[in-house]
């Protein structure tokens, strides 16, 4: 018998993860704390299974058990799972109109990404379809060290955090242009921080390049990076590159100001 496509998709489902998330979803505003028996009743799972899952979630720090009542509730750590998404959505709403304006002005694709650990997550796009050579869908994750947006986001992290962040990166050579030496990458971050924008020239995919500039919030924290991306020969190696950089940096600054950022007099 031929295997159906839906059967193939079903094979990729991790049932234990489904059950774990089902258990976590039982904790709501109306039911902030629950006993194992209550979770079992709400999920339809047996109590032994529920106990193993909540014990694991407690061990990982996502659930807390009240020793007196024997009830579980979500820990503060659960907030960390949603922070990148929440932050990305807030920045996205402010950034999109500016991104579309920039994209229309320069006739190039503009993207917005946020940092999650040492990866970047794409949260908004302003695409020029007839010039699109590589589509990055919303929610797509990429390594930070070989992308312009990743460099911009890492460069403006507090410098005392650089060593820790760089140590977390697995410097895999994506192309012959990829920076894989941690010290050279640190020098690259210093360069980005000094000039106010980053460049990626065939470091992720040969022939593709981008320019990126950081976006700051009201507290001066970098919360995103917008980029102009396309063929390296068109984005980085033609006479328009200075124009692109100027318009990109101005747009990033506009988004930052809309988020409450107050540039210093020197910037």
Q: Please state which of the ranges 44-48, 67-71, 88-92 shows the lowest mean pLDDT.
A: 88-92
Distance CA 148, CA 192 (A): 10
| CATH 3.30.450.40-classified regions of the chain | 81-258
Q: Specify the CATH number of the domain 81-258.
A: 3.30.450.40
pLDDT tens for 175-217 read 999 999 999 999 999 999 999 999 999 999 999 999 999 999 9
CB–CB of 53/19 below 8 Å? yes
CB–CB of 114/84 below 8 Å? yes
Q: Specify the CATH number of the domain 5-75.
A: 1.10.10.10
Which pTM value belongs to this model? 0.68
Q: What is the pLDDT of residue 131?
A: 67
- Name the more confident of 127 and 38: 38
The yes-or-no verdict on residue 163 having pLDDT over 90 is yes
CB–CB of 166/151 below 8 Å? no
- Name the more confident of 9 and 38: 38
| CATH 1.10.10.10-classified regions of the chain | 5-75
């Amino acid at each position: 018998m031929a295997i159906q496509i839906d059967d193939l998709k079903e094979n990729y489902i991790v049932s234990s993860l489904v059950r774990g998330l089902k258990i976590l979803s039982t904790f709501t505003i109306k039911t902030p704390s629950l006993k194992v028996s209550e979770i079992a009743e709400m999920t339809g799972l047996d109590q032994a299974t529920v106990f193993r899952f909540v014990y694991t979630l407690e061990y990982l720090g996502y659930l807390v058990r009240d020793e007196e009542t024997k009830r579980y509730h979500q820990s503060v750590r659960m907030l960390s799972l949603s922070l990148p998404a929440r932050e990305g959505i807030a920045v996205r709403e402010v950034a999109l109109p500016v991104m579309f304006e920039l994209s229309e002005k320069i006739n190039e694709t503009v993207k917005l990404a946020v940092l999650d650990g040492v990866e970047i997550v794409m949260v908004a796009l302003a695409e020029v379809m007839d010039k699109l050579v590589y589509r990055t869908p919303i929610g797509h994750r990429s390594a930070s060290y070989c992308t312009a947006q990743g460099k911009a986001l890492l460069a403006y992290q507090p410098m005392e955090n650089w060593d820790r962040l760089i140590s977390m990166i697995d410097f895999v050579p994506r192309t012959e242009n990829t920076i894989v030496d941690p010290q050279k990458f640190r020098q690259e971050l210093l360069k980005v921080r000094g000039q106010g924008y980053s460049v990626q020239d065939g470091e992720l995919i040969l022939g593709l390049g981008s320019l990126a500039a950081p976006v700051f919030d009201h507290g001066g924290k970098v919360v995103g990076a917008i980029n102009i991306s396309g063929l390296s020969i068109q984005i980085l190696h033609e006479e328009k590159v200075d124009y692109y950089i100027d318009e990109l940096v101005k747009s990033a600054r506009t988004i930052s100001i809309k988020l409450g950022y107050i540039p210093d007099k020197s910037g």
